[in-house]
Amino acid sequence: MGGSLFKNHCVTFLISSILHFVIILPYHAQSSLIISSHNHKLIYNQCSNKTSPNHLSLLAKLFQDFISQSSKSKFFETIVYDNDKTAISGTYQCRKDLTTDECHSCVSKFPQLSRELCSDNNVIPSRIQLLGCYARYVEDGPEIENGPGIQILHKSCGEYKVAMNSGFEEMKSAAFSALESGVWGGKGFCEMKYESFRVMAECAVNLRGCDCGECVNNAVQICEEECGNSVSGDIYLDGCFVSYEYYGDRGNNNIGGPSFKDNGIGGRTPKLVAIVIGAAIISGVILCVFIRSFRKKRDDW
Each of the 301 residues of the chain gets a pLDDT tens digit; together they read 555 544 454 444 444 444 343 333 343 333 333 444 688 999 999 988 766 667 788 888 999 999 999 999 999 999 998 877 778 899 999 999 999 999 999 999 999 998 888 876 667 778 999 999 999 988 765 454 555 567 899 999 999 999 887 889 999 999 999 999 999 887 899 999 999 999 999 999 988 888 999 999 999 999 999 999 999 999 999 999 999 999 876 445 455 443 333 333 233 333 333 333 344 444 444 544 444 554 444 444 4
Quote the crossing angle between the two packed helices 270-300 and 2-19, to the nearest 10°: 150
Write the DSSP symbol of residue 164.
T
pLDDT of residue 203: 96
pLDDT of residue 125: 78
Amino acid at 99: T
Closest CA to 230 of 172, 178, 176: 172
pLDDT of residue 32: 36
Query: Per this entry, what is the length of the chain?
Result: 301
pLDDT of residue 287: 47
Quote the crossing angle between the two packed helices 53-69 and 100-107, to the nearest 10°: 170
Provide the pairing of β-strand 152-157 with 125-130. unpaired
pLDDT of residue 260: 33
Closest CA to 89 of 142, 163, 10, 145: 142
pLDDT of residue 208: 82
What are the beta bridge partners of residue 47?
A: 125
- Range 105-130 burial, b when 16+ CB lie within 10 A, else e: bbbbbbbebbeebbeeeeebbbbbbb
pLDDT of residue 209: 84
